[in-house]
Amino acid sequence: MIASGTDGSVAWLLVTAAALLGLVLSPLAENLIAKRLPRLGGLPAVRVRITTAAITAALCVAFSLRFGLDYALPAFLFLAILGVQLSRIDIALHLLPNPLVLMLLAGGFLLLLMPGFLNMQADGLLRAALGALILFTGYLSLGLISPGAIGMGDVKLAAPVGLYLGYLGWTQLLYGGLLCFLLNGVVTLFFLGRKGRKQATEVPHGPSMIAATAAMALLST
């Protein structure tokens, strides 16, 4: 939550700026992705673009309310913008492009350097790096044991997800990792009930991973 000592006008300015940032950067990100990764099929439909921008803006607002003027806010705004794009692509194409996953990992780490250094919290950076390694290793093990259940795109996405969850704390890493599978299980059951077993086996796991990370960030204190 925004700190109680923060002036009300500053708080609302921050929230408004976060909403506008999400609305502007979401279509910009889509244009850049379509230009740099033409194999994904170009720009999505207008309805999808509007929905994606609205979700991104709402998530940016939620993060601005959660973190306020904390140095970690830019890192989580970056997660909102790129995480929503990855979710959109995974839902449409059942694909998590390597360049975008790597960008989320590298960009997230670089942005988390700021709170780590300025707040003198090197332990948070170390925990984030270990979180990325731990979750990646866990997903890789599951992917090797059951390749039909976990795709390699999900394995790679586990690294930036673990980075953010690890930065939040060990408890968030544990419960966030579990929440990823819980959310995906709920979505799979929904598709199983509506479309049958074949379609349920094709449910993308990426959106559940991003949603679980966002939930842990918003609910943790």
- The per-residue pLDDT string of the chain (221 residues; one tens digit each, 9 = 90 and over) reads 554 445 678 889 999 999 999 999 999 999 999 999 999 999 999 999 999 999 999 999 999 999 998 999 999 999 999 999 999 999 999 999 999 999 999 999 999 998 877 766 678 899 999 999 999 999 999 999 987 778 899 999 999 999 999 999 999 999 999 999 999 989 888 877 776 555 555 789 999 999 999 999 999 87
CA 14 from chain center: how many Å? 21
Q: How far is CA 155 from CA 95, 101, 109, 144, in A?
A: 12, 10, 18, 10
Is 90:206 a contact under the CB 8 Å cutoff? yes
Amino acid letter, residue 85: Q
**pLDDT score, position 218:** 97
Give burial (CB, 10 Å; 0-12/13-18/19+) of 92.
Answer: middle
Does this model's pTM top 0.85? My answer is yes
Nearest to 137 by CA among 76, 217, 82, 145: 145
Say if residues 107 and 82 touch (Cβ distance below 8 Å).
Answer: yes
Per-residue confidence (pLDDT) for residue 148, from 0 to 100: 75
DSSP annotation of 180 reads: H
Q: How many residues does the chain have?
A: 221
Task: Find where tokens 């002036």 sit.
Answer: 7
Per DSSP, the residues of 183-210 read: HHHHHHHHHHHHH-HHHHTT--SHHHHH
